[in-house]
Amino acid sequence: MRLGLREPYGRQAAHGLDHMTHNEYTLKNHPNWFALYGDKRDTQPGKRLNQLCYSNEELFQETVRYVRAQFDHFQMDEVSVMPPDGYTAICQCELCKGKDTPERGYRGAFSDYVWEFVNRVAKEVRKTHPDKRISNCAYGTYTQPPLNIDKLEPNLQVIIVGGRRPTGESREELMQLRQDWAKKTDRPVIIFENYPFTGRGFYLPAYIPQVLGDSINATKGTSSGEDIWLTMDFGENAIGYNHFLIYFTARMYWGGKDQNVVEMFDEYCRLFYGPAAPAMREFFSYCENHWREMEKEREQSEHALLLFEAAKSKVDEDSVYGQRIRLVDLYLNGLRNKSKQLAQKRGPVPTLRLVGDPLGEIQIDGKLDDELWEKLPTASTGRLRELQTGRQPIYGTSIKSCWIGRELYFAIRCEEAPGQSPVSTTTKKEDQAIWYGDAVEILLNTESHSYYQIVVNPAGALIDLDRGTDKNNWFRWDSQAEVATQVGDGYWTVEIRIPVVSDENDPLHQVIGHKPTRSLPWYVNICRQRIRENGSEYSAFAPTGTAGFHEPMKFAHFYRGLSHQFPADESVTDYLIAERVANQLMRKRKYQAAEAAYVALSENKNITPIQKSTALEKASDCARALKAFDRAGQLTDQIPVESIQKTARMENLLSQRNYQSVIDQYGDEDLAQWPFWQAGAGAFVRSRAYLGVKDGKKAEADLQQALALTSEPRLKSSILVMMGHNREMNLQDDKLALDAYQQNYLSAGHIGSADQFRSVQGAIRILIRQQKYGEASKVLSLVKTGDLKGFWRHEMMLSQASLLSATDQIDQALNVYRELLKDPSVSKGHRQAAEAALAELNQK
């Protein structure tokens, strides 16, 4: 059957300005064409989207030239002059100020601004190409018609995205939208629809023949055609759904405004499914009425699947009807998986607990110095971890929570690089430019409502959303929160008071809920984004194991009461849970099993590039531990994130003592250009190569960079002891070496790690050389040698004996050496060192 559907050559539909500007040359050579957010143009290379400044005259002239070139050289009939996707924040330059209309709501906020630019381009292009067209989509923040233009240029084609919405929502609103656009142009509009993308994971059984038919009939006579995007899946997994959309859409085009979709639906079921037609009709009809609910309600999903099983039983699976039903069956596997997921409860997540009923007041000033904050129980505090992998972020964040009366308070401290200021891209409330800079987000899923989102940046700008309503109304909600921020050297803080009401009669204001209890807890997440030109870091109190914050089933338990362990559904699994198992195997030195676990994790198609890179990097760690260097190299070659791959390759070379190869291949690498969250790891690895060839100055530079960009305590300790060793042995600077050693052991509440013991040894060694025996004795006293066992007990005994010998306490030194030699567990190296020292002392 010929459907009469095609993608004609000679016209563009969407995001033409992105095609024109999203390239390295333009980003580098024409920064003023791009939107200004905060004090920076949106020119960061590697971003998926870079937004533009539509007040820039050069951009206007280049757009006109670009459109004319396509008409002249590529014989295009219609060229898109549509902004890049995801346009939610207007340029903040002086020329653009005041050109937005936020009072019109999300779908009209940028309509005047964008359509004025596009209309100017159309007018200028018409002077040379009167028979050609340019187009722009009514989409997102510029969906509504502009108010500052009475009539659009005749060569400007309006394309309404979602102009008939085959999901069946807001039918009257869409009819009004089409009518409003008809007043602005004499040219019939084009409808643009994104049909559900099965290739991106859509799984719901949105079989909606009635909605498809009615919506297409409604646009006949006012639309000159449609541009429909859907997944081009040539396999069998989704054809059982996609064919349905194409069939009814194409058939509905053929008839007039009164084309009868009911008759068409009956015919389809009869001809396509034969004996199963009545049962399949019942299945499809149930799905049309309930498919949206199946995203959250298992009961509807299970009922739909039962109806389908009944239909499947009506035909022989080898018949032509059975083979067609099989294609629908394959598509429904996604719904079956979702139904199983809906049956699951919350997996292992953190807990944030309110303790008691604190008395007193908190002044919202951002200082976080109120007595209530300072005396807050530990259970009401927490720290954020990296969002995707759960590691400690490079720049940490601590949180505190408190409930007073009917108000919820949070105190948030964000660590920052000393001497650097956080990035604020707006100072205005409800400005979506906030997401182009640093921000913290508070996500509240109360026992009454799911869920609220409150975002604050370092400048104190706030934006609040109710994600429990439809997307068009997210920004109508006002939390009425009071917020204050402070920015200091190396940190910035947020202090916020959030009023909570139990009355549900005013859903547009304040958080609706009751004080959370153990039996009726809330679910919350506190998140942070740190955005820089050399990378972005996202962290959360409850890491989601995904690339985004908005995973409500990953939110933490939040309640007031005694300590309690909430049950976790053991059937729940994700990247974080699977990696935790692999990490345990690695810590137990079960390297072969750990490597297999990491490799299996890396093969999961649903993980992010950072997660895949992390899993493969750890797998290569295991392979090196097993001396399987070739396999380590093969695993490293599969790492998708370049900076992580380079770090792992340096580790591979170091493990075989190929120090010079590391320097030859990576010595000129500018680590400052790496993502800041990986630069510290790269610097630490390369510093060890410089240490291997005794290049003290270059090792020092890398160690300094590594220390500044490392937050994990054990790794920082390793860096400090290595820095002390390099300064002592290679740079021969005892003063700086002592500083590094002291910083390592003095910052520890308890000396217990190998690197801290090494720092104590190094400090004693230097102080003995400086003949500062009293200070050396004080350092040694920090270690409770008598409580130690094994290797480090013997190491500390040797240091003790050296100090005694240096102060001419020969008899005491001899006793320590003899005591060490009596220990049957002493290693060969320690025994030889003690015997050599004894012989030397006896000679004296």
Q: What is the pLDDT of residue 6?
A: 58
370: its two tokens: 């109120």
261: its two tokens: 């979709």
Average pLDDT over every residue of 705-728: 96
Average pLDDT over every residue of 40-67: 95
Distance between CA 606 and CA 704 in Å, rounded?
37
Distance between CA 416 and CA 358 in Å, rounded?
31
Pick 494 or 823 by higher pLDDT: 494
Q: What is the pLDDT of residue 10?
A: 61
**Strand segments (E) across 366-510:** 381-383, 385-386, 397-404, 407-415, 439-445, 452-456, 462-466, 482-488, 491-501
Q: What is the pLDDT of residue 1?
A: 34
198 falls in which pLDDT band (50, 70, 90)? confident
Q: What is the pLDDT of residue 13?
A: 75
The percent of residues in the chain predicted with pLDDT above 70, rounded, is: 98
Give the count of alpha carbons within 13 A of 60, CB side only: 15
Distance between CA 139 and CA 18 in Å, rounded?
15
Query: Class of the 573-638 domain?
Result: mainly alpha
Pick 46 or 427 by higher pLDDT: 427
Rg (C-alpha) for the chain, rounded Å, is 33
Q: What is the pLDDT of residues 809-830, one digit of tens each?
A: 999 999 999 999 999 999 999 9
Residue with tokens 């198609």: 605
Q: Return the HEC string of 97-144.
A: CCCCCHHHCHHHCCHHHHHHHHHHHHHHHHCCCCCCEEEEEECHHHCC
Report the number of secondary-structure helices (H) and strands (E) in the chain.
Answer: 28, 21
Whether residue 121 contacts residue 63, with contact meaning beta carbons closer than 8 Å, is answered with yes
Average pLDDT over every residue of 124-133: 97
Average pLDDT over every residue of 743-762: 90
DSSP assignment of 685-716 equals: HHHHHHHHTT-HHHHHHHHHHHHHT---HHHH
108: its two tokens: 């009209």
Instruction: Provide CATH 2.60.40.1190 ranges for the chain.
Output: 351-560
684 falls in which pLDDT band (50, 70, 90)? very high
Q: Is it the case that residue 644 has pLDDT exceeding 90?
A: yes
Between the two ends of the chain, the Cα-to-Cα distance in Å is 106
The helix/strand/coil state of 276 is helix
Comparing C-alpha atoms, which of 655, 600, 598 is closest to residue 624?
Answer: 655
653: its two tokens: 């070379």
Q: Is it the case that residue 7 has pLDDT exceeding 80?
A: no
296 falls in which pLDDT band (50, 70, 90)? confident
Q: Is it the case that residue 256 has pLDDT exceeding 90?
A: no
**535 phi and psi, to 5 degrees?**
125, 165
Topology of domain 351-560, per CATH?
A: Immunoglobulin-like (2.60.40)
**319 phi and psi, to 5 degrees?**
-75, 170
Q: Is it the case that residue 706 has pLDDT exceeding 70?
A: yes
Q: What is the pLDDT of residues 423-437, one digit of tens each?
A: 999 999 999 999 999
Average pLDDT of the residues of the chain? 94
Q: What is the pLDDT of residues 153-183, one digit of tens each?
A: 999 999 999 988 766 457 788 899 999 999 9
Q: What is the pLDDT of residue 842?
A: 81
Q: Is it the case that residue 621 has pLDDT exceeding 70?
A: yes
Average pLDDT over every residue of 527-542: 97
234 falls in which pLDDT band (50, 70, 90)? low
**Distances 437 to 25, 39, 89, 422 between C-alpha atoms, Å:** 24, 10, 12, 8
Q: What is the pLDDT of residue 64?
A: 98
225 falls in which pLDDT band (50, 70, 90)? confident
Whether residue 365 contacts residue 484, with contact meaning beta carbons closer than 8 Å, is answered with yes
Distance between CA 650 and CA 661 in Å, rounded?
9
Instruction: Give residue 429's identity as a one-letter amino acid code.
Output: K
Average pLDDT over every residue of 758-766: 96
Distance between CA 561 and CA 355 in Å, rounded?
6
Which sign does the torsion angle of CA 41, 46, 47, 53 carry? positive
Burial 268-290 (b: 16+ CB within 10 A, else e): bbeebbbebbebbbebbbbbbeb
Q: What is the pLDDT of residue 258?
A: 86
Q: What is the pLDDT of residue 5?
A: 58
Pick 152 or 105 by higher pLDDT: 152
2 falls in which pLDDT band (50, 70, 90)? very low
